[in-house]
Amino acid sequence: MRSEIDEETVERAPSRAAAEATESAAAIPAPMAAAFVAPTTESATSDAIAPAADTTANEETATADQAVAVIPVPKKPSPRKKRTLRVARPAPSADAPRVLAIEGLVKRFGPNTAVDGISLDVRAGSFFGLVGPNGAGKTTTLSMVTGLLRPDAGTVRIHNIDAWDNPRAAKRATGVLPDRLRLFDRLTGAQLLYYSGVLRGLDNRTVRERSADLIAAFGLDDAVDRLVADYSAGMTKKIALACAMIHSPRLLVLDEPFESVDPVSAANLTDILERYVAGGGTVVLSSHGMDLIERVCDSAAIIVGGRVLAAGTLDEVRAGQTLEDRFVELAGGRKAAEGMEWLHSFSD
């Protein structure tokens, strides 16, 4: 009886060992499973009498299989290359008189607050740039500065003249190039310039002399006898800027003056504005072109959500970065474009 039990145990032992080995192999990851195949009775016997060299080879094979299963650690994205800072233009001294003083300016449209307590000081002889994302309140602020939009709160003073208590005197000292400008486009360019000069109180001779200078400076010689309605977007912007400058104002307020203007004309306009500033004039302009602001402006303000987040000289606003990097940092930072895998599966 005992011998029968022993024989049955001996016969079942290999099958039990194989089952246990199979269960252990199932718990091992697939790439490593090949190194741990359950041995049969015959293979177990042969392994027991195999030379030591075979055991070493099996260990090397298992090690190689394990190495294949290693998942590489993802590399961290390399940091953005630091760009060289453009040397800023010298800003007027703090003792220079204030040409434009904005205090606590507020404008609401229903439940939305477009401008939320903006305060700025612009000194005489300054080339001042306003930058901000779309919907930040730049155009709304400039519209209130120039008398095109009445503020809900706050004050605007131009050469110490309250722009809303004495609008006629304030507008006499201001030249304006508004956004989405509307001109008397059924006039020719020459007629529009003449009308603008007379409207500002200039005499006939002065208007004609200044018109000729502006036409030559802006390269409008071939267009002055055509209707403004037939002008391209860039030419319309140039004739509008000429109208804003014809009465030689102390302050120029320009909303996106270089939009739709070709590079050659933009360079010419920049030269004209730089000579105007060098002669004692003051320019306040808004633009999305960070390179333009860094190239021509000596002071700047970054507006986000209707509030000024940084203002001062260009170096103070940049804080050791490029203006673009500083702007992106204050406006919320760069956002990684995730998803949209469908964009890489082209329709054709």
- Return the sign of the alpha-carbon dihedral for residues 85, 90, 96, 97: negative
What is the total count of domains within the chain?
2
In 3D, which of 292, 274, 284, 272 has the Cα closest to residue 215? Answer: 272
If asked whether residues 53 and 179 sit together in one domain, one would say no
Residue 333 has pLDDT above 50, yes or no: yes
- Mean pLDDT in residue range 333-348: 70
Percent of the chain with pLDDT over 90: 45
Specify whether 174 is located in the same domain as 216.
Answer: yes
User: Do 64 and 129 sit in the same domain of this protein?
Assistant: no
pLDDT computed for residue 334 by the predictor? 66
Given a contact cutoff of 8 angstroms between Cβ atoms, the answer to whether 242 and 220 are in contact is yes
Q: Which of residues 89 and 308 earns the better pLDDT score?
A: 308
The answer on 321 and 243 residing in a single domain is yes
Shared domain check, 155 and 60: no
Q: How far apart are CA 199 and CA 194, in angstroms?
A: 8
Q: Does residue 34 carry a pLDDT above 50?
A: no
Q: Each residue of 200-249: pLDDT tens digit?
A: 989 999 999 999 999 998 889 999 999 999 998 888 888 999 999 999 99
Same domain membership, residue 103 and residue 62: no
pLDDT tens track for 236-292: 888 999 999 999 999 999 998 888 788 888 888 888 899 999 988 999 999 888 888
- DSSP summary character for residue 341: G
Global model pTM greater than 0.95: no
Q: Domain of residue 246: give its range.
A: 98-331
Q: Is 19 within a domain?
A: yes
pLDDT the model gives residue 123:
94
Same domain, 36 and 135: no
- Whether residue 54 is found in the same domain as residue 103: no
Percent of the chain with pLDDT over 70: 74
Say whether pLDDT at 29 is over 50.
Answer: no
What does the pLDDT look like over 303-314, one tens digit per residue?
A: 999 999 999 999
CATH code of residue 323: 3.40.50.300
Q: Note whether residue 78 is domain-resident.
A: no
Do 192 and 240 belong together in one domain?
yes
Band of residue 33 on the pLDDT scale cut at 50, 70, 90: very low
What are the residues facing 177 on neighbouring strands? 254
Query: Residue 335: pLDDT band by 50, 70, 90 thresholds?
Result: low
Mean pLDDT value across the chain: 80
- Would residue 76 count as lying in a domain? no
Whether residue 345 lies inside any domain: the answer is no
Same domain? 110 vs 257: yes
N residues, the chain:
348
